[in-house]
Amino acid sequence: MIRITELAQQQIAQVLREGDVAVDATAGNGLDTLFLARLVGSRGHVYAFDIQQAALQKTAALLNRNGLVQRVTLIHAGHETMAAQISGPVAAVMFNLGYLPGGDHSIAPRHESTRQGLVASLELLRRGGLITLVLYPGHPQGEKEKTAILDYCRELDSAACGVIHATLLNRSGASPELLVVKKFDHLL
């Protein structure tokens, strides 16, 4: 069975190329940051955000072990500050929401900041670019975040972008879900 996080990476791999700029909006343990750094190559760059210093330290260690630290700027801030930190345009943005695995469960993105991060992502995203959001509705904060993001995405201009919502139908309601937002190359 494919995992939702793998599906997000597969979608990103279809649009991200050598020399592109990408964003990991939630660095966490660094797996998506590493994935993006490999795809952008030596001519590209990745900006990785996290509200927890511990997450950025784990990400830096992973990048160091793989010799890719020079391709990434680690930013100790929430993804809602993205527009102030990056000039754009970016080819891809990945959000893997929820708690830092093995971290403090009292620290997690809030639905308000995630919505602001998504708005900033869409502003920075080039035409043909892609945003993925892995949602974790299995806890009250995650359910609020999912509801707020789905409500926002339903209102997006369908001539400017498309949104896909993927979920595992034969698993519990607590399983992760994926949103993929593509900014069209041209207006419909």
Model pTM score: 0.91
Strand-pair partners of 134 = 96, 178
* Residue 42, amino acid: S
Give the integer Cα–Cα distance in Å for 124 and 16. Answer: 15
Work out the average pLDDT over 143-167: 92
Report strand pairing: 21-24 vs 125-135.
unpaired
CATH topology assigned to domain 4-183: Rossmann fold (3.40.50)
> What percent of the chain clears pLDDT 70, i.e. is strictly above it?
90
Could you read off the pLDDT of 81-125 as tens digits, one per residue?
A: 999 999 879 999 999 986 545 555 555 555 577 889 999 999 999
86 token code pair: 């990056």
Report pLDDT for 157.
93
Report pLDDT for 42.
96
